[in-house]
Structure 1
Amino acid sequence: MSKTSNKGGKTRSNEEVFAGFQSLRNEQRQLANKISELEMDLNEHKIVIETLHAVEPKRKCFRMIGGVLLERTVAEILPELETNKERLPSAIQALNEQLARKGQEINDYIEKHDIRVQRGAQHSAEEPSQDSSSAKSNVLVASG
């Protein structure tokens, strides 16, 4: 492997470029996973709130917060759940904006380092030739 990527003024090896790309992709996956987790929490809050509306307010109720089980009444827990349910969409929206910015950051990184992403089994007769132009670009092969 040769040293490439002179666009930013610094010379970086293909391994360093690939590691930076993988790091950005991992951050993007983490954001997507967090968004998914919060959307599931929002759905759970909706289900629990619907269920608790049908229960008498003085009834004993348990709530798990950070691994600790709290004993309260339905009347105490219901307003807290409704407040959390109202806040979750704004948190999800903020994470979606971060995810969009991370996607743009990845695209900028790909452009800056002249990276071509190929999927595992899709490279066929269009293999890059070993001329001077192909020596200047990085190729990442993503499996799956």
Structure 2
Amino acid sequence: MASGAEGDRKEPINEQAVANIYAAMRSELNQIYSKITEMEMEVSEHSLVVNAIQPLDPSRRCYRMIGGVLVERTIKEVLPAVLRNKAGIEEIVARLNEALEKKKKEISEFETKYKIKIRKADAEVKDESGKKEGSAQGVLVGPASGSE
């Protein structure tokens, strides 16, 4: 009887519960996307730093921010650390991409199981086409009458 109650908890009771679970899953997916974007920006920043300091003299002084503290080091000391950090961030991006694919698959299975179809996109396309024509006319008429 306890296992039956656990099964009931995992299965949504009504449409609203299904919609809430689906919205939460989509939210998680968006969070993963944003984190991947953030980490890819970090990788590109690390690449810029590496490309900037690699051709320089290894004994040259440089500054690095560590935990909010600016420290003076040499390029010889800093370059390996920056390369390690970049490799670590790239590994995190790879893991996030794996999590993204799993979440997409999970959402797809959920959509199939509960026969979820997104109609919002179709409605937006129809609305946008009507709005674009009206907006374009308003933009063209507004400045033309203002400039005369």
Please report the TM-score for the alignment, with normalisation by the length of structure 1. Answer: 0.68
* Partner residue, 2:118: 117
* Structure with the greater alpha carbon radius of gyration: 2
Cα deviation digits, residues 28-80 of structure 1 (max 9, x gap): 11111111112111111111011112332233322223433333222111011
* Partner residue, 1:91: 92
Alignment pair present for 1:24 and 2:41: no
Cα deviation digits, residues 93-124 of structure 1 (max 9, x gap): 2211110000011111112222221125628x
Alignment pair present for 1:67 and 2:71: no
Q: Distance in 2 between matches of 1:37 and 1:107?
A: 25
More relative contact order in 1 or in 2 (CA 8 Å, sep 6+)?
1
Gaps of 5+ in 2: 1-6, 125-148
* Partner residue, 1:54: 55
Q: Distance in 1 between matches of 2:77 and 2:103?
A: 39
Q: Which runs of 4+ in 1 moved over 6 A?
A: none
Q: Distance in 2 between matches of 1:34 and 1:122?
A: 29
Alignment pair present for 1:45 and 2:40: no
Q: Report which of the two has the higher share of strand.
A: 1
Q: Distance in 2 between matches of 1:15 and 1:67?
A: 46
Segment of structure 1 superposing worse, 114-123 or 51-60:
114-123
Q: Report which of the two has the higher share of helix.
A: 2
* Partner residue, 1:136: none
Alignment pair present for 1:13 and 2:14: yes
How many pairs does the alignment contain?
117
SS at 1:69 equivalent: strand
Gaps of 5+ in 1: 1-7, 124-144
Paired amino acid for 1:39: E
Paired amino acid for 1:21: Y
